Amino acid sequence: MIITRIRLYRYDIPLKAPVAISLGTIEHARNLLVEIQTSENITGWGEGSPFWMIVGETQASGLAAAEDMARLLIGRNPLDIEGCLNALTRYLPGHPTTRSAFDMALYDIAAKAARMPLYAFLGGDRRPLVTDETIYLNTPERMVEDALRIQANGAEAIKVKLGTNLRDDVQRIEAIRRAIGDITPIRTDANQGWSVVTAQAVLRAIGSSNVQYCEQPIKRQDIAGLRQIRRNSSVPIMADESLFDATDAIRLVREEAVDYFNIKLSKSGGIFEALKINAIAEAAGIPCMIGCMSESRLALTANAHFAAARQNVQFCDLDGCFEHADDPVHGGITYTGYQINLPETPGIGAEIDSAFLAKLPVNTIA
């Protein structure tokens, strides 16, 4: 089997409303789709969500890189996943989100060829997966409204974006906690928004508010700062932007900098690298979360397969599609409340609606 044709799509999905984090605001999910066709008539689908403020990629830069990547893969054996991905990495060492879309499509092909759902192809089994839902930066009053709605919908945990300043962030958590009571855990995410001093002060102030963990309180490169915060905080610390690949994972383990890892396929370069990150974390006794950017249910389904296949993934933050105004995906994961239901069809088990696909700008490499 060889790769005969690759189509690259500009995959824009409008959001219901702009979403704000400490790094900036987005109004559309400007993603990219990769469709890999093979000589055996097996097609693989992959999606990347280039969140420029985190991964340093845009949709335009990703699609430009994807054209070169596609040319490298034409004629190769898609089942040689490691060989294909090594070729892409050698040629363009960056661009993890773009590479993740190719990675996803290759795993989709391999699992379809094996006639197995992706979670089974990865050596796992179906197990309960539950996502949280995120509250984005806003006034305390508006964030309380969102928290009450999410709690009423039956969420087992609520994720709250922070990262502005000590007073406002503490007010946000205190207001939400007063409104929803003491039982539902709160997961916080500062997206690098604080200094070490501010992070320690905020976490000290909210430490008794049933906060399950805090993601990425400070700048991604400040590993010593993360270690200091962890040693002085009753709230566990999770690495997100500080963790792109296996090299980052080894450094975080060596420095004893965090309690948890947040793995995102769009950030790690895909499943192949994510498996390495999880293996390092598991060996070091560090539980993981599977997270997301602003992917549709196509990529979220691949993320969920990964989570099902690895017991060390203890948390799911797979709510990116909740903010989308359109859902162009056929198949894929479904949600019963916040419980994630995986498809049993071979591969990822998700494709894009043909009518929606026909409207997308496309570039074909054959």
3-state helix/strand/coil string of 35-74:
EEEECCCCEEEEEECCCHHHHCCCHHHHHHHHHHHHHHHC
Same domain, 47 and 137: no
How many independent structural domains does the chain possess? Answer: 2
Burial class (CB in 10 A: 0-12, 13-18, 19+), 161: buried
Same domain assignment for residues 90 and 204: no
- pLDDT value of residue 176: 98
The answer on 75 and 184 residing in a single domain is no
198 and 187 share one domain? yes
Look up residue 231 and give its amino acid: R
Q: Is the same domain home to 97 and 140?
A: no
- Burial class of residue 76 (count of CB atoms within 10 Å of its CB; 0-12, 13-18, 19+): middle
Q: What is the pLDDT of residue 38?
A: 98
Amino acid 164: pLDDT? 96
**Alpha-carbon torsion (242, 243, 244, 246), positive or negative:** positive
Kindly report the pTM of this predicted structure. Answer: 0.96
pLDDT digits (tens, 9 = 90+) for 85-138: 999 999 998 899 999 999 999 999 999 999 999 999 999 999 999 999 999 999
Whether residues 230 and 327 share a domain: the answer is: yes
DSSP annotation of 31 reads E
pLDDT for res 134: 98
Please tell me the predicted confidence (pLDDT) of residue 51. 86
Answer yes or no: do 170 and 313 share one domain: yes
CATH code: domain of residue 11: 3.30.390.10
Distance from C-alpha of 34 to C-alpha of 362, rounded to nearest angstrom: 10
Q: Which of 99, 109, 27 is nearest to 70 (CA)?
A: 99
Q: Which domain holds residue 20?
A: 3-116+352-365
Q: Exposed/middle/buried for 32, CB within 10 Å: 0-12, 13-18, 19+? A: buried
Q: What is the pLDDT of residues 76-89, one digit of tens each?
A: 999 999 999 999 99
- CATH number for the domain including 186? 3.20.20.120
Contact by Cβ (8 Å): 159, 134: yes
Report, as ranges of residue numbers, the positions in the chain whose pLDDT lies below 50: none
The β-bridge partners of 26 are 19
The pLDDT value given to residue 23: 87
Dihedral sign for Cα atoms in the order 89, 93, 96, 99: negative
- Same domain (yes/no): 187, 99: no
Write the CA distances from 246 to 2, 261, 275, 350, integer angstroms: 29, 11, 9, 28
**Do residues 130 and 173 both lie within one domain?**
yes
Are residues 290 and 239 part of one domain? yes
Residues labelled as active-site residues = 161, 264
Give yes or no for a contact between 105 and 36, defined as CB atoms under 8 angstroms apart.
Answer: yes
- Indicate if 147 and 63 belong to the same structural domain: no
Report phi then psi at 359, rounded to 5.
Answer: -90, -10
Q: Is 189 annotated as a binding residue?
A: yes
